Structures are given as structure tokens and as C-alpha cells.
Amino acid sequence: MKVLVTSRSFGQVGTEALSVLEGAGIQMTRLVDDYTDEKFAETIPEYDALIIGAHKFPAEVMERCGRLQIIAKHGAGLDNIDLEAAKRLGITVTNVPATNANAVADLAVAHMLNLCRGVSAASWGVKNGVWKVYIGRDMYAKTLGLVGFGNIAKNVARRARGFSMKVLAYDPYITEVPEEFQDYVAIASLDEVCAKSDFVSVHVPLTDETRNMFDRKRLDMMKTGAFLINTSRGGIVEEQALFEVCKEGKLGGAALDVVETEPLPADSPLLTLSNIVVTPHIGMYSYEAVNAVSVTCAENVAKKLGGETPRFVVV
Ligand code: NAD
């Protein structure tokens, strides 16, 4: 039995996940450093299992994978995998939900603090010889708007409570606030979240509904001076519109862990503004999260190839 690994971080922070595969007699090959879409399309039909990162796995390639039994997503978001095609072809797809929710929530809060106190901008100044006082904003007791109220957003809310923040959450698929949050989280419309929040943090999957959700019109609905944080997926925030509102001072700033084209092209206007912070899709990359996600992927591959039902089956 053979598994192809195209996730760069799989098994990189410990040996536990690799031991699971080894123990199940599964031979592992990495296609990471020399990954190209063409090489992947050529190689994957020879494998029984795939541990995949963020690259696309389109239907036309899947159709040539007669041996493939399982696609294990090394993470939560599934927008790079054609799920309809996998279902039609009888290939099991699993992901690892919630496991990275603490790591991503930490990063979202780190971005919030960074933006409101101008940490990156001030540090950039110091490194360039400018010792200048930067007067920021407190996070304490401000209003936080959460777009999506799933695993990551809930962990952001838990952290926001420590800052005595009021939390407004927009999630059309949630009708009731779980008891744990009832004291400090209120369900609101997206318009209300935008109009009332000092910080808006986005935690939705990329779907037809959420693509370009934050276009110029939506950004203009936000409070002047507010901060926007997107650690979910590129394509949800329109980058040109974001650049404009941050340049004009309509927004106080923005932080993106995800962008439409990754890596972000060197000529992106986003890189020219000190109030826009971009991190290279590092949300899930804490030691603890990467290890836990890797172990679950390895266990799922071993289970499926051993004839058992894996955890977190999506199709
Ligand atoms: P989740 O499934 O627990 O939560 C997503 C929430 O979004 C759900 O409650 C759902 O009802 C809600 N939702 C769906 N469509 C919506 C819409 N149109 N408007 C408002 N809410 C909507 O997922 P999660 O674990 O919280 O992750 C959220 C997203 O974060 C993932 O889809 C993924 O794209 C992204 N993510 C990024 C990183 C990173 O490294 N930056 C890591 C993990 C996940």
C-alpha cells in the first residue's frame, strides 16, 4: 500500500504520524519540494492514498486514479478538492476539523492586537531608523464582529472575553447561541456586524456565497477606523477594494493570512501600505496543531487502507 504526501507540513514536527503509517505497513512518498500540477497528475494514479495540502485536485485528474481509496486533507478547508467528483468516483475524503482551531484563533487575535497597537508598523519604522511614538487603540471592551461562528470563531470569542469585548456573530446556519456564549455573544446580521464592530474577523469557508463577500460596498458599511482580519480563505475579501479603503483611511487597517493568489505576487499593492499586514497562510502552523492534524491524517489513511472507517469522513 502506498500513500503520496503533498502537504508540506505533514509529519514535520514529530515522528508520531510517520510511525502510524509505518506501523500499518504503508509506504510513503513525498511530492513537496519539486511539486508541480503536472507531476502530481502524472504520479497520483499509482497511489492508494493521498495526504493533501492546499493545491488543487481537479476532477479530470481524479478520474484517472483507479487505485485511490482516500484523500486525507491535512487541515479543515476543502475548497481545493472536487468533492462531487470524489463522491462519484467512490473516493473517501476526510478532513481534520477543529484540531487547528486554537492555532488559527491565536493568530486572529495576534493580528487584532498587532493592528490596533501598530506593532508591525512601529517595528518597521524602528528597523528603518525611525523612533516615532505610535498611538494605537485599546482592544479592551471594544466590539468584535465574527463572520461565521464555527470552531475557529468560537475560539476567537473565548479569547475576546478575556479583553471584555462585546461579540456580534453572523452565521446564517446558526439559530441559537450555545449556552457557553450567551453572556457575551449576540447573533447579528452581516450588515449589523459591519456597522457596529471595531474589529471584524472572518471565519467562513470559501463558497459561492462567501466569494467576494467583502467587496467595496460591504467594506464601506464598516465603521470608519475599524480593522478587518481574514484568516479564512483568499477570495472572500476583494483585495483591490481592501487596498483602497485602507489607503483612504476608511479602515484603520487589515490583516490577511490568506490571499487570492498564494504566494502573494511581489507587485501586489497590498504590500505598499503599512496598515495592511500579510502573513503567509500560517494560521494552523503551531507545533501542537500540525502534529495533531498529521496524526489524524495518518490514522485515517491507515484505517481506510486497513478496511476500517476513518474519522471525519466528508464524502
Ligand atoms: P467551521 O466549519 O467550524 O465554521 C465555519 C462556519 O461558517 C460554520 O459555522 C458555517 O455555518 C459558517 N458559514 C458558512 N457559510 C457562511 C456564510 N455564507 N456566512 C456566514 N457564515 C457561514 O470551520 P472553522 O474550522 O471555523 O474554519 C473556518 C475557515 O477557516 C475554514 O473554512 C478554512 O477555510 C479556514 N481555515 C484557515 C486556516 C489557516 O491556516 N489560515 C486554517 C484552518 C481553517
Average pLDDT, the chain: 97
Whether the upstream peptide bond of residue 263 has omega within 30° of 0, thus cis, is: yes
The model's pLDDT over 207-250, given as tens digits with 9 standing for 90+, comes to 999 999 999 999 999 999 999 999 999 999 999 999 999 999 99
Assess whether the C-beta atom of 230 lies below 6 angstroms from ligand 1.
no
Tell which atom from ligand 1 comes closest to the C-alpha of 170: 20
Percent of the chain beyond pLDDT 90? 97
Q: Checking phi first, is residue 307 left (phi over 0); if not, alpha (psi -120 to 50) or beta?
A: left
Protein residue with its CA nearest to atom 5 in ligand 1: 150
Q: Look at residue 98 in the predicted model and tell me its pLDDT.
A: 85
Tell which atom from ligand 1 comes closest to the C-alpha of 258: 41
The model's pLDDT over 146-192, given as tens digits with 9 standing for 90+, comes to 999 999 999 999 999 999 999 999 999 998 899 999 999 999 999 99
Confidence of residue 77 (pLDDT cuts 50, 70, 90): confident
**How far is the C-alpha of 213 from the C-alpha of 203, rounded, in Å?**
12
Nine-digit cell at 258?
490568506
The model's pLDDT over 81-125, given as tens digits with 9 standing for 90+, comes to 999 999 999 999 999 988 889 999 999 999 999 999 999 999 999
Protein residue with its CA nearest to atom 40 in ligand 1: 283
Protein residue with its CA nearest to atom 14 in ligand 1: 204
Residues forming the active site: 233, 262, 281
Assess whether the C-beta atom of 151 lies below 6 angstroms from ligand 1.
yes
The model's pLDDT over 29-71, given as tens digits with 9 standing for 90+, comes to 999 999 999 999 999 999 999 999 999 999 999 999 999 999 9
**How far is the C-alpha of 258 from the C-alpha of 234, rounded, in Å?**
5
Q: What is the whole-number distance in angstroms between the Cα of residue 314 and the centre of ligand 1?
A: 15
Assess whether the C-beta atom of 152 lies below 6 angstroms from ligand 1.
yes
Q: Look at residue 71 in the predicted model and tell me its pLDDT.
A: 98
Assess whether the C-beta atom of 296 lies below 6 angstroms from ligand 1.
no
Q: In the β-sheet with 92-94, what is the strand arrangement from edge to edge?
A: 27-30, 2-5, 49-52, 70-73, 92-94
Sign of the CA dihedral with 65 first, then 70, 71, and 74 last? negative
Closest by CA to 11, choosing from 24, 23, 21, 1, is 21
Assess whether the C-beta atom of 231 lies below 6 angstroms from ligand 1.
yes
Instruction: Please answer whether residues 17 and 295 qualify as being in contact, where contact means their C-beta atoms are separated by less than 8 angstroms.
Output: yes
Protein residue with its CA nearest to atom 42 in ligand 1: 284
Instruction: Please answer whether residues 64 and 265 qualify as being in contact, where contact means their C-beta atoms are separated by less than 8 angstroms.
Output: no
Assess whether the C-beta atom of 75 lies below 6 angstroms from ligand 1.
yes
Assess whether the C-beta atom of 172 lies below 6 angstroms from ligand 1.
yes
Other beta carbons within 10 Å of 173:
8
**How far is the C-alpha of 19 from the C-alpha of 24, rounded, in Å?**
8
Assess whether the C-beta atom of 145 lies below 6 angstroms from ligand 1.
no
φ, ψ of residue 254 in degrees (nearest 5)? -150, 155
Q: What is the whole-number distance in angstroms between the Cα of residue 148 and the centre of ligand 1?
A: 6
pTM: 0.89
Protein residue with its CA nearest to atom 39 in ligand 1: 283
Q: What is the whole-number distance in angstroms between the Cα of residue 20 and the centre of ligand 1?
A: 29
